A and B are shown apart, each in its own frame.
Chain A
Amino acid sequence: MTRYQFCRLCCLGTLLFLGGCVTATVDEMVFNEPTVSLGESTVVILGRRHASDYETEPDFIQCLAKHITSADDSVNVMPELVFMNALYPWFEPRTAPMRPSDLERLLQKEAVQLKLKDMKTEYMVWIDGNTVRTDSAGSMSCGIGPGGAGCFGFGTWSNDANYEATIWDFTDRQEVGRVSTSATGQSYMPAVVVPIPIIAPVQGTACDGLGDQLLEFFSINY
């Protein structure tokens, strides 16, 4: 391998491992944190999907659950779909409680109350928000010929993630905390024969930021 080839390989490697830049902000407002371990009680994280123009992504909810359980396995996070199926039709986009007062009304139904007791659900976290692509620029052209194929050009785009988590306490039937996070990042894709995506992990950063705050709320180890 010549020195030139080695340098080229190093540059390529650096570009592959390089991520786009992400800036994240987290705001927290907590009223009543649990003072003891949750024990066998479960927490459920649900995405808000009642708006007509956006829906909280199911993979973001899964990311948060994974973030919390991988950091502290004593916190039992119930999968969103399992909870929604068990309480169907009360947590569907059109029927889900929007305010703690709606929760009070819902818990007056004996079947719902018994099911929640059976599932040992103590806290519910509503996640509202999404990640969107805000702008993009650049151009890229790809071609194929008898000698091979390749692309040439440069593309860039930015993503914005805004999420708010609202924590409800099932026992006291009230809101006990609110955390929000926003992240923005710029991704690039230069292409000289081979396109090299340098992706800014905007949603992942928002997930980590919000996940850490929720972990602080639910886990006594953090």
Chain B
Amino acid sequence: MEAPSLGLTTIADTATTWGQVQHLTYAVKVLGVLMLTLLLSSCGVNEVVVEGRFPSPLLDKLPVTLGVYYKPEFREHEFFDEATTRGESDWVVKTGAAQVQMYNTLLEGMFERVVLLNELPRKDRVAEVGKQAVDAILVPEVNELQYSIPTHTKINVFEIWMRYRYELYSANGEQLADWTMTAYGKTPTAFLRSAEAAVNLAAVVALRDAGANFAVNFEQVPEVKLWLENTADRRATP
């Protein structure tokens, strides 16, 4: 039998039998795969696409039609943590889809009608926004984000802190209010199967907190309070 053309053929011809060469080749391959796995595992990226279920708020709906515009950077929001040492992995946590899901559920439970808009309100686009008959337009954005991921903490407690900025525009693009609110989430249990699941849970807790803060304090923002009063007065006037 002719030996296949491998780098080890010469050694096999002189010192070993064909069976030994096969074993050696197999061992080299296994070692290669192991090394590659180790290399990939130490330099890979841990990606977490945040997924969760968000409850509808138990509130009396405000009698207004709210337009909401999610900027592309909000819809596709993610944060990236670069590994600092060879043993660590990079982390990518994608929160965009989950936060859009949370805000859609929240706003639908807070306002009589919610209209999703495809573009930012601008003064020269009054007519277009006007056609949708909205009382105001809300534009949320992630203003700041801090986190501690497993490689930072070394313990099973993962934390996410976010600051949201909200802008409220009138239907003709005039800014009515601009305020910020914070949100915080921590993994509530140390017994999750993976670090990814724990990061996901911390993000879901932070989003729930963001929703609770927004729902409870929306009407307390002075400019919003004034706008709601004016809207009610306008409707009351025949």
Contact = CB atoms under 8 A, between A and B. Distances in A.
Interface of A: 49, 55, 57-59, 84-90, 92-95, 109-112, 115
Nearest to A87: B58
A30 B189 CA distance: 31
B126 interface: no
Contacts of A88: 55-58, 208, 211-212
Interface in B199-225: 208-209, 211-213, 215-216
B216 A95 contact: yes
Interface string B56-76: 111110000000000000000
Contacts of B186: 55
A85 to B, nearest CB: 4
B32 interface: no
A110 B60 contact: yes
In this complex, the member of B58, B60, B211, B215 whose beta carbon has the largest number of chain A beta carbons within 10 angstroms is B58
Nearest to B214: A89
A199 to B, nearest CB: 14
A115 B58 contact: yes
Contacts of A110: 60
Nearest to A93: B209
A21 to B, nearest CB: 24
A82 B186 CA distance: 19
A90 B57 CA distance: 9
A59 B191 contact: yes
Contacts of B211: 88-89
Q: Is the interface of A mostly helix, strand, loop or mixed?
A: loop
25 contacts: A49-B188, A55-B188, A57-B188, A57-B189, A58-B188, A58-B189, A84-B55, A86-B58, A87-B58, A88-B55, A88-B56, A88-B58, A88-B208, A89-B57, A89-B212, A89-B216, A90-B58, A92-B208, A94-B209, A94-B212, A109-B60, A110-B60, A111-B59, A112-B58, A115-B58
Contacts of A90: 58
A150 to B, nearest CB: 23
Chain B: number of interface residues, binned into ranges: 10 to 19
Interface of B: 55-60, 186, 188-189, 191, 208-209, 211-213, 215-216
Contacts of B216: 89, 94-95
B189 A59 contact: yes
Nearest to B59: A111
- Centre residue among A58, A93, A115 by max chain B CB count within 10 A: A93
Contacts of B215: 89
Nearest to A111: B58
B238 to A, nearest CB: 28
A133 to B, nearest CB: 11
A149 B191 CA distance: 27
Contact of A92 (B60, B188, B189, B212): B212
A85 B54 CA distance: 8
A92 B58 contact: no
A88 B216 CA distance: 10
B188, B189, B215, B216 interface centre (most CB from chain A within 10 Å):
B188
Contact of B60 (A49, A89, A111): A111
A33 to B, nearest CB: 30
Nearest to B56: A88
